[in-house]
């Protein structure tokens, strides 16, 4: 049973375009959702957290959450070559503090 699913990619997006990353999760009780970015050979770093249905914007990044559809997404506007990385979706499991990660989507921004 897959718990947190992401398309592994690579997702190639032209510089300046919008990159759209998607994630689905299987536990309806999950309450906390996170997007992390991981550069090759580095540790994951937080981009966005979202806890309520709807959109949350932070600079060029927008996280979208739909709990009814068990779906969370990340939009990156005006994509830059420095955005090329693996993006990890993370979800708390049910009402626990256990945080489960998807396998990540590799994003490649084409100059």
Q: Which helix (H) or strand (E) holds 64?
A: strand 61-66
Map residues 29-68 to x or -, x wherever contact with another protein holds by CB under 8 A. --xx-x-------xxxxx--x-x-----------------
In angstroms, the CA 67 to CA 11 distance is: 25
Q: Is residue 10 a contact residue for another protein (CB under 8 A)?
A: no
Quote the Cα angle for 77-34-48, to 5°.
Answer: 40
Q: Residue 101 interacts with another protein (CB under 8 A)?
A: yes
Determine, following the binding rule CB under 8 A, whether residue 92 of this chain makes contact with another protein: yes
Q: If binding is defined by CB under 8 A, does position 88 make contact with another protein?
A: yes
d(CA 21, CA 76): 8
Please give the residue ranges that form the binding site for another protein (CB under 8 A). 31-32, 34, 42-46, 49, 51, 88, 90, 92, 96-104
């Amino acid at each position: 049973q897959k718990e947190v699913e992401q398309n592994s990619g690579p997702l190639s997006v032209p510089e300046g375009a919008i990159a759209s990353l998607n994630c689905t999760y299987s536990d309806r009780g999950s309450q906390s959702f996170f997007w992390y970015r991981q550069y090759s050979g580095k540790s994951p770093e937080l981009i966005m957290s979202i806890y309520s249905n709807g959109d949350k914007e932070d600079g060029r990044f927008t996280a979208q959450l739909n709990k009814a559809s068990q779906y969370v997404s990340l939009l990156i506007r005006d994509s830059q070559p420095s955005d090329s990385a693996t993006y990890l979706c993370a979800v708390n499991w049910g009402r626990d503090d256990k945080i489960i990660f998807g396998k990540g989507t590799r994003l490649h921004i084409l100059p």
